[in-house]
Structure formats: structure tokens, C-alpha cells
Chains A and B, each alone.
Chain A
Amino acid sequence: MASSLPAAPAAATRHFADDLRQRSDTALAALLRARPDLAAPSPSTLRSLAARASSRTSLERALARTDALTLQVLETVLALEPVFRAPPESQGPREVPERSDHTPPGAGAGGPPPGPLSTEVVSWALGGSAEDRPRVEAAVRLAVEQALLWDAGPGPDVEGGEASAGPGTALVAPVDLRTTPGLDELLGPNPAGLGPHLDPVPEGLTEAVRRSLGSAPGPAETAAALDTLLAGAPPGARTILDALAWGPPVGVVPPAGSRPRDAVNWLVTEHLLVRSDARHVVLPRLVGLALRGGHTHRQPHTRAPGLQGRTVRTATVDAEAASAALELVRRVRVLRQYWDGHPPSVLRAGGLGVRDLRRVAVQLEADERATAFVIEVAALAGLVRDDGDAPPSYVPTVTDWDDLDDATRWARLVEAWLASRRAPWLVGSRDDKGALRAPLSPDLQRPWVPRLRNGVLGVLAAGSAEETVLAPAPGAVVEVLTWHTPRSVPPASAVEGLLAEAEWLGVTGAGALSTPGRALLPVPPDQPQVPGAIAAALRAVLPHEVDEILLQGDLTGIVPGRPTRELARLLERSTDIESRGAATTVRFSPASVTRALDQGETADGLLDELAHRSPVPVPQPLDYLVRDTARRHGAVRVGSASSYLRAADATVLAGLEHDPTLVSLGLVRLAPTVLAASVPAATLHETLRSRGLVSALEGPDGQVLVARRGVTGRAMPAPRSAAAIRMGSASDVATRTPDPEALVAELRAVETAARAGARARADAAEVAHSVTATGGGIPLRGYRVVGSRLNRVSTAEVPPGPTGPPVPPAPTNGAAARGATPGESPAVSPGVDPEDDDPGTQHPADGLALLRDALRDGSTVIVEVAGHTGRLERRELKPLNLDGGRLRALDPDREAELTIAVHRIASVLPTSSTP
């Protein structure tokens, strides 16, 4: 049915696909690595890979990671493409590139044949000095590697697919650059502020511009050409052109009768301006380029702006970082201790309530922002989690945390932070519904956080010198990051949030990257990854440990440095800490000494330990305090008993207490006439009755005193990985992405197999189509209806070994494509595009890419649509518009226009695939 239609093949896509196919395995693997979304889920064929690489979503993602220079390169190629490919068209779809054709159809416009759009041309068009050139070249190479640009030239001397592609020769300098299809939509109609390429071109301008982009000294050429053109111009014409030169290229037509209007009219007559509608004029691209002296940009942004900030000494930075790191570790410890005793409940929507947050903040002596971060980072490191009870509460987990030294603890926290996709700085702000965002709640998940964090760390790392480090303001960091990803400028609040986190962690100190923070930067591939390097980096900057305390008569003690772990434990047990920092000031008080005594310490033991650690004798008041407190400690005692026994006659009780048969009652004499028992009153009562002792139950209802179950006695749950904690799904593209090399090998195998078994495939395709058409059920989206079967059939026929017989590339790529007229299509397609009729994975992006191609080329496609009854309907359609999730298309068979919701489209096949 397709053969009867003027089915223009998706020429541009096919060309791009050819380029991809000709790339070496290494280059393809590099592409998949650079754009991981292309590999997930795995595309089944290279054709579908190409379709996906030119889909809007994927390109948008790729552009979001593109730096300013690469973006300029892309704009330049996009702007120059029409100039180099074909004579301008005033409307209609762009034509197939005609690089190899030396007599383009539009030769009437005159001028020498356009040379290839090479890297040199791009470099020149961007302007800039000779030293910028290597950077521009690198940017071009990168763009090609990421398949944002592709080489329409004859390509490297590819003898066959992967055979010639050795390692290291991933990319040869591209010869004739093109932008990947679909990029033009994303970069807008006026790339680099240049207007559309329109016909007719003022005389001499094409050559001038082309020459200026070649080797000749350009500005002079274009200036001369312009001067010639403007020779008889009315006054003001040049001013108008200059105003539009650097974009935007659209101007408002001045009111009729005015002098500027005359100039505009003259310019329009001379084709130096074009009326786009009644009120506007537009500056054609070539004129714009000529005005710019053949350049597309004023200057290339070859490097990121220099980082601005205060200079801080490294020693200061490291000291600040060390104290921040110790403080964080301490806060996490306090948090765990506090939640052990007071586990807060989990909000119904997940997360920690505001009041509980404030309570923790009081314990941590920190503000709420810092507290939220401590809680988050502790959860990330698996140190606190919800206990899974109903209703759930947050509790500390059982780990070896308490046995680790400070540096190792810090390393755990910082590693958890590095991998985190959470944005704790949003805590306290309100979401779209006006609800307060809570710490640990699932809606703090932000997939872009790791990338931004790496970006920020990278920027900070750039600011270090020999003895000093730069401490940039958040604004300066944003500025640099903006150069790196101008299409997705990070929100200033997020950068501020990350910088604050880095400061709390001690990754930065006084705003500059610290030495331990440097250990977090990715290790260069040529250096081995040292386990424990992060902890070691912190350990190196921590102040020396001090194991002595100066005790003073005012009941204070001073540790003149960082206390050892044992000393810290002693102080924590027996003192109140008054001041922390480089030194620790503690105060002994009756309450603090009581605390130590509660934990089993004795007065002598405590004093001995203090004397042992103090270089000066224990002051008399302290000695007195400890002993006096110990004297009072335990004067009033509390215990638990389940029941008691009272009698006026002490001898009765004495007899019971020592009765061996009553041991099970756990009788303890509290006073001559009172015994406590560890069994409930009822049991006690019964047992005594059975012994023949008539006892009476006391109290109106035999009330039982039950001791409160100690909260600290709760069984702590085992740690769970951070991802499993109720913090939203930690879906990770990277983890789902298969190994690029393996994927590339698989793709090659499919292709080779497809070539080898072309005929079998054709038959199978018939069968497959008939199966689908006769209603083999509704294929689920992404379900490999045809492809999988085909693959299995085909691979079986391939001779074993990864490198099959090299398949020669289509020798006359361009010609074939050019000649792919409707009539020839069926004959050519099996050889050139063997996978064209193999939809492969029905990824929605593939289908949409085909639709978009068809839209651009005005060709038809075969669309399978889920009908009202749920059955698949197969129709051949000519897409007219694809927007807002709807496809408007023309059905040539029925001569009717119809609109289909995109989600009803099960699959899209190129028309050429139908035999």
C-alpha cells in the first residue's frame, strides 16, 4: 500500500543514522556514556538509537549539559548550514544536503561552490584568537562525540563497521559538519541571533561571506561587498542594518512617510531586509553574517569566567573545615542519642514534623536549616531511619558508628552526602500546595542534585593555589556554572544550599574548598582509588589530640585541644560542656556528677580518673563536690516491684523471705514489715493461699504497679541502605544503564545479523506484521513484538564470533539517499537501511522521532493506533502537526484529516518498510 504513495524517506535522519553507523565501537560507547539516556532502555538497533539521539527530549537533556562554547559551536553550525548546503529557499522544507554535488540546483544565485563546513570554518566564524582554536576544535569534537553534530562528509576511511576502529581513533577530525536533526527546533529559528536564510540574496554577498569563512581575510571581503551594495543607499540605511546586525534580527517598520521608512523600503527592495509581515522586517542571515564580518558571534566563550572571591589561607580553611567536621560528627552523635530516648513520629506524608525538628535543633544548638541537614545526612548514612512500626518513628540504627574514630565517621557522612539526590535546603519552604517541606520527606528528592554538587565542587576546586584558596560568593559560583550549562542555569538557592552544606560538612572552610574536601573530587582515571582516602584527608588536618584536662577551683576544666575519645567520653559522662571549639571548657556540677554516678561511676573512680588526666592536683572544691554528690547520690532509691506484702508481725515476713519454696516470688525485704515481690499481686496472693497463709489483697481493685518499660531498652532495628529509607525512590539512570561496550556489541550483532539474514527477515517481517494486524492483542508499549522475534531468528543464523564478515557501508550514501525516490525505495531500502522496517524497541521516542521526520519531510508513515475497541488499527498517515500530545495527520487513503492522542499510538513504522 505504501508503494503507491509519494513516500519521501526520512532523509536527514537516515543520513544522521549513517554517520552513527559508521562510527567506531569506541565512539559509540563514548556516545552512550555521554548521553546515558540513549542506552536506557537499550535500543535494539542503531537505527532506533539514531532516532532516539535526535528526539527532542534526548537532545534537550544533552543541551542542558552543554557548555557555553559548545553551544556557540552548535549555533554556528546551525547558522551556517543553509549557507553551505544549498541556495536559500524562501519557504518549504529544507532540502537534502548537497555537499557532494558541485552544481547545486540553486546555482542561479551564483558564487563559487560552497566548501565543506569544516572545523576550521566554525573556528573562524566564531572569531577569537589563535589560542582559542584548539578549544573550539575540542568543543567540535565533543559535540560530534555526543552526536549533537555529525559529519556529513565522506567520513573516515571506514572499511567496515568496527573493523577499522581501533582504540584511540574514536574520532577523526570531522570534515563537513551538520547539526543533528531536531536541534534546530531546540535552538530556535534565529541561531546566534541571525535571521532566516532567504532568497534572493543581494548580489555578491554569498561569495563574500563564503570566502570570508574560508581562508581569505573575511572582514575586508564582506565590508567591501556591503559597501558596494549600500552605495546608493538613502541616509540611515546603514544605521538600520547595524542595529539589527547582532540580533534580534527582527525590526519594526517605521511609520510611513518618515525618513527611516524610506531607508527601510530601499533596503527591502535591495533584499537587504525582508518584510516578514505588515509591521516587521527581518534581516536575512547572509546579510547579518556580512554585517558581522563573517562571524557568528562577537567572541567565543572559550573558557569559563574566572572565579571571583576572597583569598583565604589554606591553613585557616583546613582549621575551619576540621572544626566543622568534628562539629557535624558530634551533632550526628547527639541526634542519635536524642532520638534513642525520644523517637519522633514520622509524618503521614513522610518526613519529620516541625516541632520535632525544633526539638532536635535545641539539642544540637543549631538553627533549623543546619539541623535539617544533620538529620538528612544522618539518614543518608543509614544512621537513623524509621523503625517500620505502626505508626512509625525515627530511631537510630545499630551500627559500628560509635566505635569509629572521628575521621572515619566523617568520611561515612560525606560519602553518603556525595551520592545524595536530596535537597535539604528546601526544608522550611513551601511546595506548590503550600505545605511545608519537612526533613526526610520524599519530596526533597531532586535527581539533578549530584550533577550540581559535582559542578559546585569542581568550581571550588578551580580556585586553589599554592598556599591560598578562593572563597567565592554563591553568585560567583553560579556565574561559572552558567558557562558550563547555559541552557540549564542552576537556581541560586540550590547553589547556596549546597555551599552551606559543604560548609557544615567541612568540605569547605571559610567558604573555600578544604584539603579534606579536595579528597572528594573525582580521582583522575590514571590514579588508583585509595580506600579510606577521605578519612585520611580529614585526619591529616585535625588538630592533635589532647589527653589532659586542666581542673580549676571554679569547678571548670579546660581541655586545651581536641580531646581523645576516652577523654571525650569521660567529659561527656561527668560534665556539662560550656564552650566548644579549638579547646573545650567543661563545668562540673552536682547534676553532671550525678549523671556520672548514675552510669556506674564511683566518687573515687571519677576523682582518680580526673587526677590521672590532670597535670594539676584536683582542686579541693571539685573533690568536695564529687564526694558530696556521691554522699547524697542514692539517698533516695527507686526500684520496681510488682506487688508487696505487708504485715504487722515482722517475724511472719522473715519466715516467708527465707522460705526456699517461695523463691519464685522474688521476695525482697524493704523494711521489717514490708516485703516486695516480683510477681503480680494475684500470683502472690494465690501462692501464699496455697501455702496456707491467708493474705488479703490490698487496694480497691488489686492495682498492679507496672514499671515503665525503659525506652532505651528498645530493640534497635538493623540498618537499611539509605535508598530503602522512606525518602522516595532513589531511581538512578546510571545504575540501570547497561555497560556501553556490551550494548554497542549487541547493536552491531543485530545489524550484522540483519544484513546476513535479510531475506529471512523479510519473510519474518511479513509474518510478524500479519500477526500484529490480525489482532494478536494490543502490544504493550515498549514490548518487542516484532523485533524480539526477529532478533532471535536472525542471530541464530549468524556465524559465531563477534566480528562477522565486514559489511561494506553503502558506497553511495548520499546518492542513494538523494535518489531514494518513491519508486526506488523498495529496491534500495533492504540493502541500505536493513533495519528500517524493524521498529525495534517501541520506545515512544522512536515513534515520535519518526513522526517528526515525516512531518519535516512531508512523507507518510504507518501508524498503529489503539482504536475505540482496543484493537490496533493500522493506517498510513501524513503527519501535519505534532503538538501538545496530539498528532494531527492526513489519511491520504480516505482523504480525511484526523487527530490522534499520542498515547494511543502503539507503533510507528516508516512507509518504506512495507514491501
Chain B
Amino acid sequence: MPDGPLIVQSDKTLLLEVDHPSAEQARRSIAPFAELERAPEHVHTYRLTALGLWNARAAGHDAEQVVNTLIEFSRYPVPHALLVDVAETMARYGRLVLSQDPAHGLVLRTTDKAVLAEVLKSRRTAGLVGERLDESTVAVHPSERGHLKQVLVKLGWPAEDLAGYVDGEKHPIELSPVTKPRTPHEKAAAWEMRPYQAQAVDGFWHGGSGVVVLPCGAGKTIVGAGAMAKSGTTTLILVTNTVSARQWRDELVRRTTLTEDEIGEYSGARKEIKPVTIATYQVLTTKRKGVYTHLELLDARDWGLVLYDEVHLLPAPVFRMTADLQARRRLGLTATLVREDGREDEVFSLIGPKRFDAPWKDIESQGYIAPADCVEVRLTLPESERMTYATAELEDKYRLAASASGKKKVVEQLVARHPDDQVLVIGQYLDQLEELAEHLGAPIITGATTNKERQRLFGAFREGEITRLVVSKVANYSVDLPEASVAIQVSGSFGSRQEEAQRLGRIMRPKADGRTAHFYAVVARDTVDQDFAAHRQRFLAEQGYAYRIVDAEDLDESPADSSAP
């Protein structure tokens, strides 16, 4: 114990020294209850949060286990107050239980009458609960099951939901052992779920509802398919956009017994309701005359499973709708639980606790996602542009810096360094992208591109017919471009860590020849662009990706990359 790999700080961070002989063991032991905050090369930082501890509690770990783990691996004595706090926090979960009562329907029960009294006294629970049945039981309106859970988490007394789920309408879905060819000349190939995917499906199914956290490129769609097969019921899948919806459909057709006819798309363009329906967040949140017009979709069928893709992006109105779906099994899929808006607790209470989590690096080291090399290229602005920048209005500064003319040349140089790779150029500003596309002679996809055209271009890129593609932020999410191995980011939406993760995810799909992916960010020196980049870089470094900073002037001399052919 005196030489453990873990240092427990009183501010509830855990520092894990990765080079320590028992670091792996410690990592596995603390993973259930601690959130990995950053994973740079030597010392990983985990954080103990109330949600994390409740997640652990939901997964069947108790406070004693947590405390013992901390003490066992800690190098120094663990702060006493922290241990007390862990025990107290964990003891809060499960004091309140939502369950089905044969006589009264949905009820909230407690093992601690004082707690029930406390939450019932709160103004927030007013109207969510019904009659007080006895000292430790109160009736709950079934329609308020989600709201109540939400409120209870906010009050610090998360309820364990044991009320069960409706079975939903049965619909046979099986995973097919061989992939169905997408194009006539593609051959069917045998496949099976990767071990961690199977684990994730089991973890979810066992828990009932919840979130599976997997890095980009780790095959979340397959986890979704696995869950559907396990459920064998009609399924509603909520995704971020139409392109993503189509990819889901393709993937399901490829890997399950479902046929195209059984899968419907519910989007701005089409409104099909089939046993498996894929809907976009956008259409769900469309309002007409102040009313959500597509809410009936949620009741259109007796769904047995609701899937949320990219759950960290779930818009607030969907949370409200989800609150009404508490009787159905819910599976959230995401690469990160971090939400820029801080609504992690809503994910916890409305979708469910985290059911499976695999660190990015672990999956990478298993060869399921490509290793990546991250480089920040710093470009010194020419005198004239610096002057323009210096005198510009604050709100224009980022745009000016991000679309600096010099970036064109840098991109050109970078593209030239990867003649044999599939290169994506990603940016924020359309005029900049159009200029770049023209300069590189590459096709461009923006929000204005029709879905048909998008599909065509993505298809061509996948097939290797085109090797250069310029995309705007529409490609941030859920566009599967497995062969892209180089991404060049010329501008981003300020400092979003989310975006960085997603963009990196674009190039992370494992490559056929196992080569390294490259991620370049081109930033203008001494501008806000650099500051935002620093924010994103920090995220990359925290995720464990080594990154380098290179001056644009040095690009010519520096070797492209040792692993490049």
C-alpha cells in the first residue's frame, strides 16, 4: 500500500500513475465509480462525482468496495473526509425505489422515512406524486415517472427505477452471421461482435436502461443492433441527422435480418413509421405554432426499445419527451458523457446510469480503432492581416483568424504530404471551404448539399474514387468514412471539445493496413484561433493523444511522418 499507483486528493481527484506495475489493476478497480477526466501520458486523472458513485451503486458496487479500492491502491493515506463523503453519497442512492405495486400501480417506496418526507416536502415534487399510501410509500403518476426521477436526482436522492418496462410489440430481429453486400460486387463476409461490444450489450440489457460509452469508431451502431436483437421488439432510433439515419439503416440491413422494408425513416423528407423507425432529433424538435407536431411518433407504436445515438447531443426538448417514455427500455450511445451544457444529470435520470464504458486508449491498443498522430500547425499571419485582425471588432476576430489566407497554402502542403491517403478537410466557414475546395480541386459537402449528393460523394470517397473531400460541420457526427486517414481542420466552432472528439473520430476507424491516422489543426498564431485551439488540444492531450506543435514555416523541412509510406 505505501507504494500504490494511486494518489487520492482531497478535492476528489484520483491520480493514477500509468507506469506503475499495478496501474492496470488499479484502473480496472476504480473504473466503475470514477470518471476518467484526462489521460495524458504519465498520470491519468479520475474524478469522483456523485453521478459516478451512483452509477457504480446502480451497477451493484457498494461504498465499502469503493473505499477499500481507494485504500488498497492509494500511495498515501486517503483523506478521511473523502471516504466519509463517498460512503454518504453512495448511501443516498437506492433509499428511494420506484416500483410497481400490484394494487396501486407505480409507487415510490423508501427504506428511510425521513428521506421520503424530505423529498415530498420539496416544492419540486409537488404534482408528480399522488396519494400517500403509507409512511414509506407514495403513489406516482405513471406519466411523471421521468420527471420525478429528474427531480430526485436534483434533490440529491436518486431513485432506483425497478418499476420495469413494458414488453413492447414483438418483432423478430436477429444479427446475421454474414454481412449483406452493399453493392453487387461486394462479397458477403462473416463477422461477429467484438468482445467489448457484446459486453456492452449485456451490461445494458442487464441494467434495463442506460448509457453505453464507447469512443468514436468503436462500433456503437453494432452495439445498438445487438441490443435490438436482444430485445426482439419494435425499436425507435433517434439520431442526429438524416445522413446518420441512412447510415444506421444501411448498417442494420447489412448486419441484421432486417430488410429495408422493415426500417422506416422519419425525417424532414420522409415520414415512415415501420417496426424499426429511425428519426432525427431535428424533426422531433420541430415546432409548429408552439406545438411539437411530431410527438405522436412516440406513441405511434408500442415501442419495446428506444435508442439514442450521440446521447450527449440530445436536445433539451427531447429530454422532455424522453421523460414520458420511462416505461420503455432506453439505450443511449455516446463517445463521451461530457456535455458542454452540463446536463449530465438529466442523461443519468432520464436515459439511465452508465452501463458500459471502455477507455479510448484500451480499444485503440486492442486494434479496434486506429492510432492517431495529432499536429497543430501554427501559421504566422502576414503583417497586413495582423493589422486587420488587431483592429477588428471582437466578434469578427475568430472568423478573421480562422479563415486566414495563409491556411490555404498550409493545407496544400499538408495534402501534398499524404498523396496516398484519403484526406478530409474540415472547416466552419463556407467561403473558406469553397475557396479551399477550388484550390485543391476537391468536391465539397456543406449544409446546402442535397442528401442525394452527399450520399453520392460519401460513397465515392468510401470507395476511393475520390481521395480529397472538403466538408463543413455537417460531417461532424455519424458519418462513417472508414477509409479517411488524414483530417485537416482549418476552423472549428470555437473551442468545443465535443467537436474535436467527433472530428478525430472521423479518422479513427481502423484502417485496412493498420496505418496511423493523422489529425492536423491549422491555426493562426497569436490570435483567438490559437486560444481556441489550445482548448481543443488540451482535450486531445487529455484523451492521451500525443500532439506536437509545428510552425507552418517548418513544414517543408520536417519529415511528414515516420510511419507514412
Tell me, rounded to whole Å, the shortest Cβ–Cβ distance linking A412 to chain B: 24
Interface residue? A616 (CB, 8 A): yes
Is the CB–CB distance between A510 and B43 below 8 Å? Answer: no
Binds A, one of B298-306, B410-418, B538-546: B538-546
Cβ–Cβ contact A552 & B41, under 8 A: yes
Contact of A323 among B7, B10, B43, B538 (CB under 8 A): B10
Within 8 A of B (CB), among A664-691: none
Q: For residue A317, which residue of chain B has the nearest CB?
A: B80
Interface string of B206-237 (1 = CB under 8 A from A): 00000000000000000000000000000000
Write the nearest CB–CB distance from A161 to chain B, whole angstroms. Answer: 59
Contacting residues of chain B (57-110) with chain A, CB-CB under 8 angstroms: 75-81
Query: B462: CB under 8 A from chain A?
Result: no
Residue B428 interfacial (CB < 8 Å):
no
For the complex, is A553 an interface residue (Cβ under 8 Å from B)? yes
Query: Is A798 among interface residues, defined by CB-CB distance under 8 A?
Result: no
Is A602 in contact with chain B by the CB < 8 A criterion?
no
CB distance from B93 to the nearest CB of A (A): 24
Is B9 on the interface with A (CB-CB < 8 A)? yes
**From A632, which residue of chain B is reached at the shortest CB distance?**
B526
Cβ-defined contact, A579 with B41, below 8 A = no
- Interface segment, one of B11-19, B341-349, B350-358: B11-19
Using known A-B contacts A582-B9, A620-B548, determine if residue A320 contacts B79 with beta carbons closer than 8 Å.
yes
Q: A319-B77, A581-B79 are in contact. Are A554 and B13 (CB under 8 A)?
A: no
Which of A320, A553, A579, A580 has the most chain B CB within a 10 Å cutoff?
Answer: A553
Given contacts A323-B10, A323-B79, A560-B75, 20 further A-B contacts (CB under 8 A): A318-B77, A320-B80, A510-B81, A550-B17, A552-B40, A554-B538, A554-B542, A555-B538, A555-B541, A558-B15, A580-B10, A581-B8, A581-B10, A581-B79, A582-B8, A582-B9, A585-B9, A585-B13, A620-B549, A621-B549
Q: Give Cα A883 to B282, complex, Å.
A: 88
In the complex, what residues of A have CB within 8 A of residue B15's CB? 558, 560, 583, 585
Q: Which residues of B contact A585 (CB under 8 A)?
A: 9, 13, 15, 45
Interface centre among A316, A555, A556, A581, by most chain B C-beta atoms within 10 angstroms, is: A581
Bound complex: CA of A201 vs CA of B427, how far in Å?
Answer: 109
Q: How far is the CA of A316 from the CA of B74 in the complex (A)?
A: 12
Complex contact B546–A553 (CB within 8 A): yes
Which residues of B pack against A, CB within 8 Å?
7-11, 13, 15, 17, 38, 40-43, 45, 75-81, 526, 537-538, 541-542, 546-549
Q: Which of B80, B537, B542 contacts A510 (CB 8 A)?
A: B80
Residues of A near B38 (CB, < 8 A) are 554, 556
Sample of 27 A–B contacts (CB below 8 Å): A318-B77, A323-B79, A509-B80, A543-B76, A552-B42, A552-B43, A553-B40, A553-B41, A553-B547, A554-B38, A554-B542, A555-B538, A555-B541, A556-B40, A560-B75, A581-B7, A581-B9, A581-B10, A582-B75, A582-B77, A582-B79, A585-B9, A616-B41, A616-B42, A619-B546, A621-B537, A624-B549
A581 near B40 (CB under 8 angstroms)?
no
The 3 A-B residue pairs with the shortest CB-CB distance in the complex, in nearest-first order: A554-B541, A319-B77, A581-B9
Q: Is A142 part of the binding interface, using a Cβ–Cβ cutoff of 8 Å? A: no
* B79→A579 contact, CB < 8 A: no
- Confirm or deny: A315 has a beta carbon within 8 angstroms of a beta carbon on chain B: yes
Q: How many residues of chain A are within 8 Å of chain B by beta carbon?
A: 31
Q: Which residues of B contact A318 (CB under 8 A)?
A: 77
Task: Bits for A281-324, please: 1 = Cβ < 8 Å to B, else 0.
Answer: 00000000000000000000000000000001001101110010
Which residues of the partner chain A approach B17 to less than 8 Å between Cβ atoms?
Answer: 550, 560
Residues in B whose Cβ lies below 8 Å from that of A619: 41, 546
Q: In the complex the two chains form, what is the Cα distance from A695 to B538 in whole Å?
A: 57
Task: From B8, B9, B40, B78, give the contact of A580 (CB < 8 A).
Answer: B9
- Shortest Cβ distance from residue B398 to the other chain A in the assembled complex, whole angstroms: 18
Give the complex CA separation of A581 and B7 in angstroms.
9
Q: Judge whether A621 and B547 touch: CB under 8 Å.
A: yes
Asked if B76 contacts A319 (CB within 8 A), the reply is yes
A552-595, CB < 8 A from B: 552-556, 558, 560-561, 579-583, 585
The answer to whether B547 touches A558 (Cβ under 8 A) is no
Q: Which residues of B contact A312 (CB under 8 A)?
A: 80
Which A residues are CB-close (under 8 A) to B77?
A: 315-316, 318-320, 582
List residues of chain A with CB within 8 A of the CB of B43: 550, 552, 558, 560
A871 to chain B minimum Cβ distance, whole angstroms, is 71
A581 to B157, CA, bound (A): 29
Say yes or no: B541 contacts A621, CB within 8 Å: yes
Chain A interface mostly = mixed
Shortest Cβ distance from A375 into chain B, in angstroms? 22
Cα A315 to Cα B549 with chains together (Å): 46
Which residues of A have CB within 8 Å of B8?
Answer: 581-582
In the complex, what residue of chain A is closest to B542 when comparing beta carbons?
A554
**B7–A560 contact, CB under 8 A?**
yes
Q: Give complex CA distance A509, B8 in Å.
A: 17
Q: State which of A553, A560, A561 has its C-beta within 8 Å of the C-beta of B541.
A: A553
Q: How far is the CB of B77 from chain A (nearest CB, A)?
A: 3
Closest to B543 in A: A554
Q: Kindly report which residue of chain B lies nearest to residue A553, judged by CB atoms.
A: B541
A214 to B493, CA, bound (A): 97
A471–chain B nearest beta-carbon distance, Å: 9
User: Within the assembled complex, what's the spacing in Å between the Cα atoms of A510 and B546?
Assistant: 41
Contact A581 B11 (CB under 8 A): yes
CB distance from B380 to the nearest CB of A (A): 11
Give the distance in Å from the alpha carbon of A561 to the alpha carbon of B43 in the complex.
Answer: 13
Give the residues in chain B near A319, CB-CB below 8 Å.
Answer: 76-77, 79
Q: Give the one of A319, A320, A554, A556 with max B CB within 10 A.
A: A554
Task: Decide: A550 near B79, CB < 8 A? Known: A621-B547, A621-B548.
Answer: no
Residues of A300-356 contacting chain B, CB below 8 A:
312, 315-316, 318-320, 323
Write out the residue numbers on chain B whose beta carbons fall within 8 Å of the beta carbon of A582. 7-9, 75-77, 79
CA distance A444 to B75 in the complex (A): 42
Chain A nearest CB from B156 CB (Å) reads: 20
Chain A neighbourhood of B547, CB < 8 A: 553, 621
Given that A553-B541, A621-B547 are contacting pairs, would A579 and B13 also be in contact in the complex, using a CB cutoff of 8 Å?
yes
Given the complex, which residues of A lie within 8 Å of B537, measured CB to CB? 621
With A and B bound together, what is the CA distance between A616 and B81 in angstroms? 33
Residues of A contacting B76 with CB < 8 Å? Answer: 319, 543, 561, 582-583
Task: Tell me the minimal C-beta distance from A467 to chain B in angstroms.
Answer: 14
Alpha-carbon separation in the docked complex, A621 to B75 (Å): 29
CB-CB < 8 A to B549: which residues of A?
620-621, 624
> Which residue on chain A has the smallest CB distance to residue B13?
A579
Minimum Cβ distance to chain A for residue B185 (Å) = 45
A624 nearest CB neighbor, chain B only: B549
Are A580 and B80 in contact, with the CB atoms below 8 A? Answer: no
A122 to B353, CA, bound (A): 70
Closest to B541 in A: A554
**Shortest distance from the beta carbon of A295 to any chain B beta carbon, whole Å:** 44
Docked CA distance A633–B76 (Å): 40
A583 proximity list for chain B (CB < 8 A) = 7, 9, 15, 76
Let me know if B42 and A550 touch, CB within 8 A. yes
Beta-carbon contact of A558 and B80 below 8 Å:
no
Interfacial residues of chain A within 595-626, with CB under 8 A of chain B in the complex: 616, 619-621, 624
**Chain A, Cβ-Cβ closest to B71:** A316
Most chain A CB within a 10 A radius of its CB, from B38, B77, B541: B77
